[in-house]
């Protein structure tokens, strides 16, 4: 379900969409806070924003209609959660006006029991996240990745305990394969545990791998999709293509997520052509905004997570919600970015043709 809400700085309002099979409404754009609080580590390469800068980004996001905030305990070794929680206090934001999401999995200490998706780690880290976020509940608690050392049922029962205790309202997953998500859904249903509402995953016009197995599963099971790194670590801004590319950029230091540059160059060229002549709120549309708009046109997407280091970057990302792509433009983008056919996909399509028209 989708509804519109007022948006102060965009001709088109940000939409609210229900998260999976729930009555929880989240904005189609979500503020990602991976840039908050990094130090002399991997997170510092992504961002080292301090409290005053975090406050400005949080305030801008909320003022423009974003009600969905995503963080994780590992971002900045807990600093991101601390800054998010303090921003909510500094900005006097009502807790019920925000959908607050965080994640657990990565190492938060040297012990083998301070990482993973075991009951002990989940229970301990939820309490730590609540303290850092300065709240008594988390709206969406997500398992940040698949833990091969912990039975899925143990993970799901720990999440269910947190929901029963009132510390967590809804639960989701991140970076799980389709079969892993389906196994979790089956276990949750058979044991009457809290349902899996969402999957946070990487999905871009230059990285459509999700479409082979994951997105059909999400649509079938009505699980919401939250997209991380929608610009592929900045690659889809187009600034890393061409002869004038500087060696001093994020992807030169931290080349992640991986991108097929040969295909990516063709996709960026097509997006440049589509952007020509387009304007949003009187400003020329950028390649990055076309990439974000393409995601927002995909029915499987619930919310796109956008991060930034500066307010103007965040505003540019938010403006992408006002871009409408024509059927011809969407076809052109699909043609240049479509995945190569693989088995069993091509066989499923061939054998399903004579029945597809009968589907209601």
> Which run of H or E residues covers position 104?
strand 99-104
DSSP code, position 13: P
Q: Give the orientation angle of helix 327-337 with respect to helix 261-275, to 10 degrees.
A: 170
Do the Cβ atoms of 54 and 87 come closer than 8 Å? Answer: yes
Return the C-alpha torsion angle 62, 37, 258, 289, nearest 10.
Answer: 30
Closest CA to 118 of 78, 79, 146, 77: 146
Question: Cα separations (Å) of 277 from 271, 272, 285, 292, 295?
Answer: 12, 10, 8, 17, 20
Calpha distance 16→1 (Å, rounded): 8
Calpha distance 246→342 (Å, rounded): 37
Which residues are catalytic, by number?
75
- Residues 343, 349, 354: CA angle, nearest 5 degrees: 145
Query: Please, which residues have CB within 8 angstroms of residue 96's CB and are 6 or more apart in sequence?
Result: none
Show the tokens assigned to 15. 């939409």
DSSP conformation letters of 297-349:
T-TTEEEEEE--SSHHHHHHHHHGGG----HHHHHHHHHHHPPPP-TTHHHHH
């Amino acid at each position: 379900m989708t509804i519109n809400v007022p948006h102060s700085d965009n001709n088109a309002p940000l939409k609210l969409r229900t998260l999976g099979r729930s009555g929880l409404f989240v904005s189609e754009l979500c503020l990602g806070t991976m840039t908050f609080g990094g130090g002399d580590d991997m997170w510092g390469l992504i961002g080292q924003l301090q409290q005053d800068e975090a406050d400005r980004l949080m305030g801008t996001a909320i003022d423009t209609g974003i009600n969905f905030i995503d963080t994780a305990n590992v971002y900045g070794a807990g600093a991101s959660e601390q800054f998010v929680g303090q921003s909510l206090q500094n900005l006097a934001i009502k807790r019920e006006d925000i959908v607050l999401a965080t994640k657990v999995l990565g190492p938060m200490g040297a012990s083998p029991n301070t990482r993973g998706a075991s009951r002990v780690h989940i229970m301990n880290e939820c309490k730590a996240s609540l303290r850092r976020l300065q709240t008594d509940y988390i709206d969406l608690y997500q398992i940040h990745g698949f833990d091969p050392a912990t039975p899925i049922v143990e993970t799901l029962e720990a999440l269910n305990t947190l929901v029963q205790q009132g510390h967590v309202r809804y639960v989701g997953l991140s970076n799980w394969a389709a079969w892993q998500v389906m196994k979790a859904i089956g276990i949750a249903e058979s044991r009457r545990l809290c349902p899996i509402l969402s999957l946070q995953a990487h999905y871009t016009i230059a990285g459509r791998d999700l479409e082979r197995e994951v997105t059909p599963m999400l649509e079938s099971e009505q699980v919401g999709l939250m997209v991380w790194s929608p610009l592929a670590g900045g690659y889809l801004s187009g600034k890393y293509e061409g002869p004038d590319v500087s060696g001093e950029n994020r992807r030169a230091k931290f080349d992640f997520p991986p991108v097929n540059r040969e295909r990516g160059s063709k996709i960026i060229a097509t997006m440049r052509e589509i952007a020509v002549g387009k304007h949003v709120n009187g400003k020329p549309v950028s390649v990055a905004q076309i990439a974000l708009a393409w995601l927002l046109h995909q029915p499987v997407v619930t919310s796109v997570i956008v991060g930034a280091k500066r307010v103007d970057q965040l505003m540019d990302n938010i403006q992408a919600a006002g871009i409408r792509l024509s059927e011809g433009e969407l076809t052109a983008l699909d043609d240049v970015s479509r995945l190569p056919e693989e088995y069993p996909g091509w066989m499923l399509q061939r054998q399903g043709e004579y029945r597809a028209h009968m589907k209601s």
